[in-house]
Structure 1
Amino acid sequence: MNSQTQRFSLRGAAGNLECALDLPPAAPRGVALVAHPHPLYGGTMDNKVAQTLARAFVALGYAAARMNFRGVGKSEGEHDAGGGETDDMELLLQHMQQQYPGLPFALSGFSFGTFVQSQLQQRLIKQGKPAERLVLVGSAAGKWEMPQVPSNTILIHGEQDDTIPLSDVLDWARPQDLPVLVIPGADHFFHRKLQHIKSFVVEMWHR
C-alpha cells in the first residue's frame, strides 16, 4: 500500500505464505483480515479493492493484514478451491491474535475472498469465537456455495457487475434479510468507484 506496509511470511500447510500488514498511527483498536479475489484470474493481495479495504480498516484504527493465497506472488503451494485458503486465513488470524492479544477482529474480502472469509466465519462460529463483523465486497454468490453470514455483515456490490451479477447476490441475501449497498454504475472491480467502498465501510462500521 505504501512505504509503511510491513511484509512478513507465515509457514502454512502448503509452504510459505506471503503477507502484508498496515498499521494505524496509534495503537490498534482491532485487527482486520483482508482476502483477495480469485488467484487463477490474477487476484493478489495488492488488488485495488483489497488495498482499499485495508485502508478503510486502518482509518478505523485497525491493524489490517493481507495474504497472498497459495500459488500467488511469493506464497507457495497451489490453488485449493477455497478449502486450503480458509485454513491459511485462519492461520493468519491466529498469528495476528498472538501479535495483538485480546483485540476484536473483523474479516473482509473481495470476490473469491468473500467465499473464504464467510467460510472462516462459519468455522469460527462453531468454535464459539466469531469475528465481530464481516465486510464482503463483490460477494461470490452464484459462483461458489456461499454460506449464511451474520445479520450485521456489510455487503457492497456494483450495480453493473458482470462477473457476479447483482441479482445473484440479492437472491443469496434475500432469505437472510441482509441489506446490500449497491454502488450505481460500478463494475466488478469498482473502477473509479473505490472511494465509495472506503467511505461505506468507515460510515457503517459503528452502526
Structure 2
Amino acid sequence: PVALVLQPHPQYGGTMNNRIVYETYNSFYKNKFSVIRINFRGVEKSDGIFDNGQGELSDAAAALDWIEKENPGYNQCWVSGFSFGALICMQLIMRRPEVNKFIAISPQPNVYDFTFLAPCPISGLITFGKNDELVQIDSILNLKKRLSVQKNIDVKFEPTDNANHFFKNKEKELSTIIDRYITDKITIV
C-alpha cells in the first residue's frame, strides 16, 4: 500500500516536519505502507510561493503520482492531511479515483468550504480535538451530518477529549486513533 501525508498551512508555520504529520507518517510506516510526506511549494527548501490551495493541490497530486510510480502494483492508496492539509487531502480524493481511504486530522469546515464533498467518494476517518480553539464543534457536527447520510461510504468521526487543534499533550491518543483505524481498515491482498 502507498500513502501520502500532507502538512498544515504553510503561512502559519506548517511543514512536513510538524509533529502530527510526522506521527501520521510513522503510523503508516509501521503498518508497512510506502509513505511520503511533502512540503508544499515555498516551504523550507521547496520552490515556489503559497498559492491559496490550488498550487498545493497540484503539489499533492504530483507527490501521489510519484509514489504510485515508485510502487508499481500497489494494492491500496491512502491520503492524509492535518488542518489545511486535511482540506487538500479531501480535495485530492475527489479527483483521484484510485485513492481507497483518507484520514483528515483537525479539518476546518468553519474556515474552508467542504460542500465539494457531495458526494464523498470514499470512506475514511475524520479526527479532531473536542477543545479545538480554531474550529467550532458545530461546524464539525454539520460536516458529520452531511456525510453520514451518504450511501456506500463510512466516514468515522473520532474526537479526542481535552485536545486542542494541535493535539497538544494528546499526541499519544491521536497516534492510537490513527494506528487503530489503519490496522482495522487496511486490506491485505
Tell me if the contact between 2:100 and 2:122 (Cα under 8 Å) persists in the aligned partners: no
TM-score (norm 1): 0.80
Distance in 1 of aligned mates of 2:86 and 2:56: 12
Q: Is the 8 A contact 1:170 1:180 kept in 2?
A: no
Partner of 1:160: 131
Give the equivalent residue in structure 1 for 2:161.
Answer: 184
Q: In the alignment, what sits opposite 1:96?
A: 67
Instruction: Give the 3-state SS of the residue equivalent to 2:111 in structure 1.
Output: coil
The corresponding residue for 2:178 is 201
Q: CA 1:107/1:152 → structure 2, altered by over 3 Å: closer, same or farther?
A: same
Q: Secondary structure of the equivalent of 1:180? A: strand
- As a proportion of its length, which structure holds more strand? 1
Q: Residue 24 of structure 2 is aligned with which of 45, 53, 57?
A: 53
The one of 62, 86, 104 aligned to 1:136 = 104
> What SS does structure 2 have at the residue aligned with 1:44?
coil
**Aligned equivalents of 2:105, 2:138: Cα separation in 1:** 15
- Unmatched runs of 5 consecutive residues or more in structure 1: 1-29
Which residues of structure 2 form unaligned runs of 5+? 149-154
Distance in 2 (CA, whole Å) between partners of 1:51 and 1:141 is 23
Query: Percent same amino acid at aligned positions?
Result: 28
Residue 144 of structure 2 is aligned to residue 173 of structure 1: yes
Higher fraction of helix: 2
Aligned 8 A contact 2:94 2:121 in 1: no
- Amino acid paired to 1:155: I
Give 1:17's aligned residue: none
Change (3 A) 1:63 1:45: same
Amino acid across the alignment from 1:108: S
- The CA deviation at 1:180 is 1.4
Return structure 1 stretches of 4+ with deviation > 6 angstroms.
none
Please name the residue that 2:84 is paired with.
112
Q: Residue type of the partner of 2:72?
A: P
Contact 1:151–1:176 (CA under 8 A) maintained in structure 2:
no
Matched, 1:43 2:1: no
Name the CA distance, whole Å, in 2 between partners of 1:68 and 1:107. Answer: 15
